[in-house]
């Protein structure tokens, strides 16, 4: 798990983040808020391509690893690359969860749960607001 105070390759002041992101993006990516379930951009999205961090453009997830978990949020079995994301402990709901953050800018993406399908057994439950999509060429 990462240390919350760690330095990331993409670093901005809070004011710079506020200026470069929409209000909703800032709340989700920088303050750890959550999209409403079932009513978010990428939940029922089935295009072929790569999902990137909405804050810094880091390539995070491949659409080939996306599946319908029934959770109300886009779910993936694994990140695009092992080092695309990082993790930290999250106790905001009085029990430990694994928060998923962008390895390049430290932005909040969502959470990883151990109830996903094979081959990984993981469910990366990711906020649509934290993602941008690039269609595969």
Cβ–Cβ under 8 Å, residues 86 and 52: no
Catalytic residue among 53, 102, 105, 125: 125
Cα Rg, the chain, nearest whole Å: 14
> Which DSSP state fits 104?
T
DSSP per-residue codes, 37-101:
TT-STTTT---SEEEEETTT--EEEEGGGEE--SSSS-EESS-SSTTSEEEEEE-TTSS-EEEEE
| Catalytic residue list contains 56 | no
- State the chain's maximal CA–CA distance in angstroms: 44
Cα separation, 125 vs 40, in Å, equals: 12
Q: Give catalytic residue positions.
A: 125
């Amino acid at each position: 798990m990462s240390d919350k105070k760690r330095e990331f390759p993409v670093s901005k002041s809070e004011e710079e983040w506020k200026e470069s992101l929409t209000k909703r993006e800032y709340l989700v990516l920088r303050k750890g808020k959550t999209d409403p379930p079932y009513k978010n951009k990428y939940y029922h999205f089935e295009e072929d391509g790569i999902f990137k961090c909405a804050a810094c453009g880091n390539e995070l997830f491949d659409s080939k690893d996306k599946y319908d978990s029934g959770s109300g949020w886009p779910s993936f079995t694994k990140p695009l690359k092992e080092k695309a994301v990082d993790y930290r402990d999250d106790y905001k709901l009085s029990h430990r969860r694994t928060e998923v953050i962008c390895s390049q800018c430290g932005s909040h993406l969502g959470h990883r749960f151990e109830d996903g399908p094979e081959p990984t057994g993981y469910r990366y439950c990711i906020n649509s607001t934290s993602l941008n999509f690039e269609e595969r060429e």
